[in-house]
Structure formats: structure tokens, C-alpha cells
Structure 1
């Protein structure tokens, strides 16, 4: 039996590693990044009429032509967000950042825009003005809207709104569940300056947080934040679309998104469990692989024990002060791997080849003894007798025996 093939062992190791990786992948994550937008990104989104990519931005409402009393939506079209994690043990956690820019036209702003999670991506009819492309007067507050939105309002639309410069959380309605005024933080949404927005939702704690940052014209950063506890499953079903919506009224503005990234997040408990499973599988695979390797090695040792003992006995039977023992690889090199061009002759007991021993700088004849179908023990005994006898003979008409070799089934005289 030969030593196990290393390529087979490597293949087995690769299969085990692949199994560990595949078994460890239990999360289907949503992740994308758009540092800016160009016409090549059109297939990543679906656009309502009038919405477009222009000036390296998503234009949520028309940026040319008739811009008053318009509404629009831009939907990420490649993939939906799953409401629950893969094991449905917790709501999906996520984080998103984007840069919005609201530029008033003719000096006065109106109405606003929103980031939405919804199961209904189509733009509602008659959703311009105060409705921000989120809903309309007939559907405001309806549970079937399935909308969770963070609005960025630039015009006061009803008496309960703080003012025309705030953000708020909306659930199936344009009337904010909670509002956060921005003027007291000196943040002006409709200033034409970029506003960096960061949102994060923790599916375990149900905390939904929003942070806004705007660079001051006199230096430094202006910041505002807000958060609340909300169970998204009360408002949304699986397969959630990520949407930007916006509108204009009597007054118009450009509702622009200049960059956007989004990623789902594994909560700590899920990560801990998944890491533990991966570590366990990796250790188990390593133990199994090591056990198999050790088992194969001992099997090989057991099956070759008789041959190794026979080799040792053969060496003991050959006179220790007699000829040199050569390695098989050295004799293969000396005879060009027993090349037919080196063959000197052939007899009943074997074939003789011309060889050259480099370390002795000596030209030699190498006899490759043929065992045929004879009993191996008897053949080896005859080989030993021949080696011991020839090594003691000395005559000018006899070729001197320099050495011998016995490896595997090969018996050679030099």
C-alpha cells in the first residue's frame, strides 16, 4: 500500500472547509452603497413620472418644467428588505445614511420629502402638497397603507405641526406620531445646503433613531437627533421596499438625494450564536479531519509493517562490511530512470543498464533483478546470497560488486 495521496487529502480538507462556510451562512443580508448617482444606476431604481437621476442626484420630484403641485417616489428596485431575521426570532436590524439637499425655487420652499419603509411602492394619486408622496386625503391613516416614514417637512401643513422646518416619524399617516423641530438647532432643511442623515433600527430593542448633521456657514456642525420605540411588525409585512418620496405645492423646491447607503445588521445575540456555531463546526471539522488522517496513517503503517520488517531482515543478512547500499532514487538518476537507451543486456535473472554515479564520478553497470512470479522470500534469499558471494570475489575477469539496493519490490546490483 502506498502513502495516501496528498491531493486527495487536500480535496477532503477543502470540502470540509466549504461545508463549514456554507453551514455558517444563515443570514441573507441587504447591502448597497451609492456615493453618487449617474445614468448607469437607473436599473437599480424604479421612478414615478417626473422622478429621475440628474445632477448626480436622485430627483424625487421634477427638477424642470411644471414643478408645482407634484409628487414623486424613487424605489430601490434590486431587492426588498425582510421584516424578520432568517429564523424569525427578531425583527431585522438595519442602518442607512444618505445626504439630502432641498433647494427652494423662487426663494420659498414647499412642501417636503421622506424616507419610507413600505409594502406598497407605487405613488398614490393626488399625493402632492402636504401629503409628501406618502398618502392622500382618502387614504390618510389607513392601516392598509403599510408605511413607516421619517418626514423632512419644509412647510407647515396643519395646525398640530410645529412649523415648516422639522422632521418626524409617520405611521400610515401624514400626521406625525412624533415631531422634532430643527430651527432651535439652527438646521434649515430648505437652505440648499447638504444635510447628512443617519438612521438605525434595532430589531431586538425596537429602537428607531435618527441623527441629522448640517455644516454651518460659519464653521462647525449643527446636529439634531430623535428616537422612539416602534414595533415595525405592527405596520409592515415582509418584503419591505425602501423608498424616497417627496412633493411640492404652490411653492416649489428640488428634493434631492445626493448619496445613499444601506445595510442590515446582525444583533449581538444572533451574532454570538452564529459565531458559536461557526467555531463549533470548524473545530468539529478539524477533529474529524485529524482523526481520519491519523487513522489512515496507522492503517498504512500496519499494512506495510511486514514489508518494513522484511527490509530490515534483508539488511541484517547482508554483510555489514560488504558493498554499499544505494538509494533507489540515486540509481534512477544514474540510469536515466532505467532508460531503454542505457540497456546493456538482458538475461534470465534481470536486465543490466549503464549508469553513472555522480558522487563517485564512476561509470557502473546496474542490474535490475527480475523477481518474476517466484516466491518473494526465496527471491530475496537468493539476492542476499548473490550479494554476499559476489562482494567477496576478486578476479581481473570479474566485474567488482560496488553496491546494492532494495526498496519496495526493486532488487538491484551495482
Structure 2
């Protein structure tokens, strides 16, 4: 007797116990099975992990989670085989839905590849790293010895030898890494390695010989698929196949994670060979004797009635639970919406509200080619708004926040702070958008990019007068934020990558995602420590209290970078040991060689008195003892030659901590480790962010 459709559901996420019980009862009744994994207890017997794959916090990681570039490959499969049909006949239809994240652990690394959803006759499937997606072998791809593998690849690397259309594409692979059909995702506004949670739907209709793939950043399935391929999979799908995922990297820190996964087969073909699955699926039926059928009619009806109650009871319970949960969630969403609706208009009397359609069109669907920056809270795109008959197009910078709740908090915080600020050295907020689940801030476009790119690019594009102007401009805007606003604004993330340069190379301070408002007459309170290692004041790391003086310390580090052309934590001349910029400059000051700290790329093209003045300002602001740092108003006076520099001791002062310090000195030292990620100590990194941003 032919086997019924085998229904497999794997969800590496939390599912309510009532729903799981109801689904299990229903699955038992129809002869299939339903396996659920909650985030607290995963059953290893139901998953086969191969290569570098691992389980963590209710998710499956496929490649190594490391900040050091490496080559890695891993796969995860359901341990039980799935029946798709006989090799010679038609194949069963199937549908897969899963969510994944492809994240760059180190923004400077290259060589990441992608994820593949696959169906294989072998549950020991593990291939080569790099372009082979951990699925195919490099020595056998041409010969197609893996000819029975069906895979849908979500590829983030351009491999010319495989005919890839771009480094951001989806393709169908049949027994080879060379896709039989592939599509560039540029037109669909999806960037696979953006770090966003992405949901994919793969549907194969056996009767129509059609495979479709859809992608979205939300849980709603798009009306239009990104890939639609007319293909007959019956030559590849056999009686016993294994379903899973694989991923690979090559000299990269790209990390691939599967968050949830559901899969089912349906429209099962009639095939004589399928009877071999009757025992495993519980669909075997014993022959019925006609005489017994009449005698057992009443018993059969009672059995069916009991079975119906056993199924409908848990189902009714589950439906009730879902209904009440849905009502509660809707009320919560409406309440939140009312709060936001009442809050945001007060903030945005100046900036306008853009529509999502406008911003999507202006960024070409948030195409990867329009990316001009990435940060801990989102990606920044260049937007070109169409001009009028009398004016040319206007360029903006659109900051697209990720979908996490924390990012929404940062979005509201940034909007609430910067919407009411006006200063010539601030990046001007032009508008905002909160449509279609997207969080978007629209800023004026800065054509010369960020200070760090100008300062550390080859060649350096900043002359000494331009550098001095940058230091003066940022001092002026910080004095405004600290002392001239109705409420003090503590930026908490002063660094060269958050300082932008306009068309005249004048500095503009941006990225207020971590900023905090504080009344002038109130003391600071402890908060989550946030910012970037190398720029964080010692007392801030100790107490978590952000003040004007913690911003002053970060400004001092930026000033030293501007003078020296060196990063806050850099390698020594031998390229081995980490060197802290503040310590290095202070040592030269103690040896009466402070002028030697000047950036050698300036080739002496600077005013000696200005250089010494600016270096002394940087050291005084980066003093380990916060009480010894000057206020930003005093710094402005010094740079305008209205006051003399603050005296700086020849020897760097010792760090002073209270006896109640909750963290050890070696834990907050800027250059205590030898393992470096993106030029920062290993201790500076955290899962939350890129480039050394931390929050604890």
C-alpha cells in the first residue's frame, strides 16, 4: 500500500505546549509525524550535525563563530528520511519555510559564501568550503558525482567559475554548484549578508513542475517570488531523502545561523516502491476480513468517535489559546502604536515624514550598491530624490535600522534627541519614516564621507588646516550639546567614524543612537555601558555613568588621531604588540619629544605651535582622572587661542578607582589582549555589534 504524505516540522524556536500537543495528535491521526523543538531542550537524536555546525540558544550555527578569518563548512540534517516518491515517476510536492541570518563578524573580512537548503540521498552530506557551500566537493563538481542533490543556494560571493550573476543571489543547484537558474537579488531589496533576520519560502509543485523561492525581512510571504524555475525534480527525488542546510566560508568571519525551520511534503505520488515507508510512518494497514467488518461496525464507530474527541479536544484548546494570544497581541500593538503616534509628531515639527515608497525608490530598493556605511544599529544608504523642473536631484543619507526591539528604542532615542538640535557642525536631520515595519532616518548627505575614511585612506586626503578645523568644529558642537542646550546631551559614541565631512570638509557630528538627555541640575545615573573600546573613559567602564567628561575623553582620543594619523589601538612599528594611542603620545611627552607624534604623512606640512597645542589638548582631555579634564567650552577657547592649554603632567596619571569598583583593572585596560579584532582588543568585542562597539 502506498505511503501517505510524510509531514515533517522542525522548529528551532519556542512553541506553546498546547499547540505542540494538538499538532502531535493531529499528525498521529493522519499517519505523519510532527517533531517540535523548543529553545530550552533540543533533541540531538532528531538532528544530525556535521562539520563545524553547532547548537546554541535554540538556533543552529552552520559555520564557526569566530572573529578570526577562517575557512569553515557545516551542515545540519533531519535524522529521519523523507519519502518523496519513486525515482522513475513523479515526485511529491513540498514546501519549506525557514529563517536565517548571515552576519559579518568582522566588517573588514572577505571570502564569505552563503547558505544552501538541500535534499540529499545521503545524511552524511558535507562538502568543501568556499564556493561549494559545504555541500559539493571541489574535485567532483564537474563530474557531478553528487548528481542526486537538489539545493537552493543563498549565495553571498561571486564565483565566476560557477557563472554566478552577483555576490547577492539565489540559485537552484542540481547535483553541482553551477546553478541551473539564478537571479540577482538587487531588484528585490534583499541583502543576504546584511545581518538581518531573513525568511525564505521554497515551494515545489510536482504536478506543475515548478519551483519557487520567496524572500522577506518580515514574516509575511511576498506575493512575488524572487526565483521561479520550471523544473521536473522527479529524476532527483527518491524514496528516501534527507532534508537540511549547509553553509561555508573561505578566509572569512561570516557566520550563518538557522533560526527556525518548517518543512512538509504533500500531493504524494502513487508509487509501488513507497510501501517500504509504511512501517516508519505508521500507515501500514492490515487486510480486512468481510465477516469481521460487519461484526466490528459498532466498535469501529465508537473508536472513530473516541479518536475524533481525542483530536478535536486539543485542537479546540489550541485554537482558543491562539485566539486569546492574538487578541492580547493586537491590543498591545495598538497601545504601542497610539503611544508612538502621539509621541513622534511632537518630535518632528521641522523634519518631514517620508513614505517608505519614496525612500525605497530613491535607494533603488535599498540596493547593496547604495550602501555608504554600516553600524551597530543599521545600514546607511545613499538616496537620490528626483528633482523638479527647475532643480536637480537631491541626495540624502538614509539610515535603515534593524528590526530588533532594541533598534527601535535606538531609533526613537536618536529621533527624539537630534530633531530639536541645530548647530552648523551637526548632521542635519531631514526626515524620518516608520512604515511597513521599517525604521528609517533621513539625513543630509555628506559627500566626503566619514573622518576615519579620510584620515586612514590611502592617500590621506586631509591637510593640516583641515584637520585643525575638524578638531575645532567638533569641540564647538560638543560645547553646544553639553552647555547650551535646554537639556544636556551626552553623545556617548564620539569617534572618527561618527564624524562626517561635508562638501567643504567641515566636520559634522552624527549618529545619536546612543545619546542621552539629562537635566543640567541632575546627577548622572548608571546605564548600560555603550560605545567603542579605545574611546571609552575608564570611569564610565567602571560605573556605567555617562557624563560630559566621558564625551570629553572620547574627544581627546579623536584629537590625538587627527594629529598622529594612528588609530586608538594600533600595532607597534614591528606589527606585533598592540599600542594604546594615549599611552604612546604621553610617553613621547614625558621624553620631551611630543612633536614626534605628528603624522609622518604630513611630511612636516603643519604649524608647529598648532600641532603642539592640539596634542596637549588631546592629552588633557584623555586624562584618566575625569576631574582633571577641561570642559568643552574651555577647549574651544584654547583652540581659538583665547586661553592657554591646560597643564599636562609629563607622566601619565595613575587610574583611580573607588573601593566599590565592580570590575577589575585588567578587564577595562584598553590594550590588555594580544588577540585583535578589527584593530581592537578581543575583550572589546561583543555579539551585539560590529567594529568593537560594546554594550554591557
Deviations 1:14-34 (A, max 9, x none): xxxxxxxxx9x9515132231
Q: 1:209 to 1:190 in 2, by over 3 A?
A: same
Structure 2 CA distance for aligned equivalents of residues 30 and 178 of structure 1? 28
Aligned equivalents of 1:67 and 1:30: distance in 2? 39
TM superposition score normalised by structure 2: 0.33
Match of 2:366 in 1: none
How far, CA to CA, are the matches of 1:222 and 1:189 in structure 2? 19
1:90 match = 90
Helix, strand or coil for the counterpart of 2:45?
A: helix
How far apart in 1 are the matches of 2:183 and 2:115? 15
**2:106 aligned with 1:103, yes or no?**
no
- Determine whether 1:173 maps to 2:176: yes
* Separation (CA, whole Å) in 1 of partners of 2:106 and 2:224: 27
CA–CA separation in structure 2 for the residues paired with 1:177 and 1:246: 19
In 2, the alpha carbon distance for the partners of 1:66 and 1:42 equals: 28
Question: 1:128–1:222: structure 2 CA closer, same or farther, 3 Å change rule?
Answer: farther
**Stretches of structure 1 lacking an aligned partner (at least 5 in a row):** 1-22, 271-283, 293-414
Q: How far off its partner does 1:168 sit?
A: 0.4
Change (3 A) 1:29 1:186: same
- 3-state SS of paired residue (2:245): strand
Q: In the alignment, which residue of structure 1 is the partner of 2:61?
A: 59
**Kept after mapping to 2: 8 A contact 1:187/1:222:** no
Equivalent position of 1:186 in the other structure: 189
Contact persistence 2:188–2:226 (CA under 8 A): no
**Relative to 1, partners in 2 of residues 1:118 and 1:221: Cα closer, same or farther, differing over 3 Å?**
closer
**1:111-122, aligned counterparts within 5 Å?**
111-122=113-124
Deviation, 1:225, is: 2.0
Counterpart-to-counterpart distance in 1, 2:54 and 2:167: 26
Higher relative strand content: 1
* 1:206-285 matches, cutoff 5 A: 206-215=209-218, 224-266=225-267
Q: Distance in 2 between matches of 1:150 and 1:120?
A: 17
Q: Which residue of 1 aligns with 2:8?
A: 31
Q: Assess, with a 3 A threshold, how the Cα gap between structure 1 residues 290 and 81 changes in structure 2: closer, same or farther.
A: closer
Structure 2 residue aligned with 1:42: 44
CA contact under 8 A between 2:98 and 2:260: conserved in structure 1? yes
CA distance in 2, matches of 1:291, 1:140: 59
Distance 2:186 2:262 in 1: 27
Q: Find the residue that maps to 2:145 and give its secondary structure.
A: helix
Deviation at 1:99, TM superposition (A): 0.3
State whether residues 83 and 236 of structure 1, in contact with CA within 8 Å, keep that contact through their aligned partners in structure 2: yes
Matched residues in 1 for 2:67 and 2:52: separation? 9
Root mean square deviation, CA, Å: 3.6
Counterpart Cα distance in 2 of 1:154 and 1:96? 21
Contact 1:92 1:203 in 2 (8 A): yes
Q: Which residue in 2 is equivalent to 1:199? A: 202
TM-superposition CA deviations, 1:295-344 (whole Å, max 9, x none): xxxxxxxxxxxxxxxxxxxxxxxxxxxxxxxxxxxxxxxxxxxxxxxxxx
Aligned with 1:250: secondary structure? strand
- Partner of 1:191: helix, strand, or coil? coil
Residue correspondence of structure 1 range 317-396 to structure 2 within 5 A: none
Q: CA deviation at 1:226?
A: 1.3
Corresponding position of 1:155:
157
Q: Distance in 2 between matches of 1:73 and 1:81?
A: 17
1:61 to partner: Cα distance:
1.2
Q: Which has the larger radius of gyration?
A: 1
Alpha carbons of 1:26 and 1:124: their partners in 2 closer, same or farther (altered >3 Å)? closer
Q: Is the 8 A contact 1:72 1:123 kept in 2?
A: no
The residue aligned with 1:76 is: 78
1-side partners of 2:62 and 2:41: how far apart? 15
How far residue 205 of structure 1 moved from its aligned partner, in angstroms, is 2.0
Quote the Cα distance in structure 2 between the aligned partners of 1:204 and 1:262: 19
Q: How far off its partner does 1:123 sit?
A: 4.0
C-alpha displacement at 1:54, in angstroms? Answer: 1.2
- Residues 65-99 of structure 1: per-residue CA shift (max 9 Å, x gap): 7661111111111x2111217x9863111111000
Aligned partners of 2:297, 2:100: CA distance in 1, in Å?
59
Residue aligning to 2:535: none
Task: Name the CA distance, whole Å, in 2 between partners of 1:291 and 1:209.
Answer: 46
The alpha carbon displacement at 1:35 in A equals: 4.8
What is the deviation of 1:187? 0.5
How many angstroms apart in 1 are the aligned matches of 2:210 and 2:117? Answer: 17
Q: Is the 8 A contact 1:152 1:167 kept in 2?
A: yes
Shift of 1:258: 0.2
Q: How many residues align?
A: 253
Normalised to the residue count of structure 1, the TM-score between the two structures is 0.54
Shift of 1:223: 6.6
The DSSP-based 3-state class of the residue aligned with 1:43 is helix
1:53 Cα deviation after fit: 0.8
CA distance in 2, matches of 1:203, 1:223: 20
Q: Deviations over 1:147-169 (max 9, x none)?
A: 11000001112152111101100
Counterpart CA distance in 2 for 1:70 and 1:290 is: 61
Q: CA deviation at 1:237?
A: 3.2
Which has the bigger relative contact order, CA under 8 A and spacing at least 6?
Answer: 1
Q: CA deviation at 1:268?
A: 11
